[in-house]
Structure formats: C-alpha cells, structure tokens
Structure 1
C-alpha cells in the first residue's frame, strides 16, 4: 500500500502521468518509478479522473502540440480548473463521468503498461 501525498508531490505525480500523453515514445517504467511510493489505485484514479481529461486531446490531434513534456505549472492550473468546474456544475460532473469512462476504455493500455512495472518489484 502506498502513502498519501502532499500537494507538491501530487503535482509531480500529475507531471509524471502526463508523460503518457506526449508525442514521443513513452517510458512507462519511468512513470512507474515516479509513482511507485503511492497507492496504485490512487494513481490510477488520478490518471483517469484528473490527468487524462486535461491531456488526452494531445494524442487525438493530427499534429500534437506537446511533443516532449507538459509544462508543470500549466498542467497543474488546467487540472485545478477542471476539478473546480466539475465541483461547481452538476452537468459538468455528469459529462465528465462519461468522459472518464471513455478515457478508461480508450487509454486502458496506459494503466496496463504502468502497472506492469509495479508488479515487477
């Protein structure tokens, strides 16, 4: 079982997980190393409910804007804005529930790859 994380640690978890959405070869082992000290179920939740809703469009464009890494401050701000909007609006919350389900299906391979490296230890 992993430990809980501070806000600063959470922002670095966001950044590590966002690497799965860049337009380069993804180092899933590195993502696992960066997140291995935390509860895997919490990391999975953060991946699909917080990071993927903000980052997934980068993989869905013909020419992705982000090639090597997301900007940490912008990423944090975008996730915070998304979470606040979800809390303030019932309709946004419902819409995001559907989006998250789709993201879990569409990007299932991301968690599968990260999780493989957790179980190697």
Structure 2
C-alpha cells in the first residue's frame, strides 16, 4: 500500500529547515511540490517557523537532527487553536512578517527547487 502525504508530513519536512545540521533542500522540495505553494508558504511561516525558529537563535541549538514529531504537532495544534482570536491573529501576522524576512533565503532555495 502506497503512503499518501498529509499535512503532518509537510510540517515535519519543513521543520528540517531549522535543525542544526546540513539541510536536505531536495528532500524538503520533494514533499513541498505535492502541495500548493501558497499553502506551503502559509504553513511554513504561520505554523512551523513559529514553533521551530528558536533552534536557530542560540549558540548551541537544542535540536541537532530532527524535531520530535509529536511535540511539533502538539505545538502547531496549539497555534491553530489560538488563530481564531482577532488579537492572536494580528500577533501571528506580525510574527509571520518577521519570519518571512528572517528565513527568506531558505524559502527562496526551496522554491527554486520546485
């Protein structure tokens, strides 16, 4: 039986952008290409980057190889629950704007591989 990709697979693949090792852009692009690009951009900057960006800030990143899948999904689900509140929605847009600027090179590299 063939495995079909779902949102969880997309979230996990995008989280690889934030680990402290060599990023496999080709693998990420192979997952991303199966979803609409505007959807992937939204998922990256509104759900995955807010959860994973902390790993790129410190001098010694706590996550070296991959994020825990269950913890990642739990954190993303918490964000999704908060996004219906108008105040939280404004905060999310502002933070996403910053993240788009901060990780624009990574996003451009993925888009160039599609």
Provide TM-score, normalisation by structure 1: 0.85
Quote the residue 2:44 is aligned against. Answer: 47
CA distance in 1, matches of 2:11, 2:58: 21
| 2:24 is the alignment partner of 1:27 | yes
Q: Out of 64, 71, 92, which is 1:96 matched to? A: 92
Q: Which runs of 5+ in 2 are unaligned?
A: none
Q: Secondary structure at the residue paired with 2:113?
A: helix
Query: Which structure 1 segments of 5+ residues have no match?
Result: 1-5
- Tell me how many residue pairs correspond in the alignment: 111
Give the distance between the partners of 1:107 and 1:90, measured in 2 at CA.
25
SS in 2 for 1:37: coil
The equivalent position to 1:64 in structure 2, one of 61, 72, 92, is 61
TM-score normalized by the length of structure 2: 0.90
Q: CA deviation at 1:115?
A: 0.7
Q: Give how far 1:22 is off.
A: 0.4
Q: CA RMSD in A?
A: 1.4
Q: Which residue of 2 aligns with 1:77?
A: 74
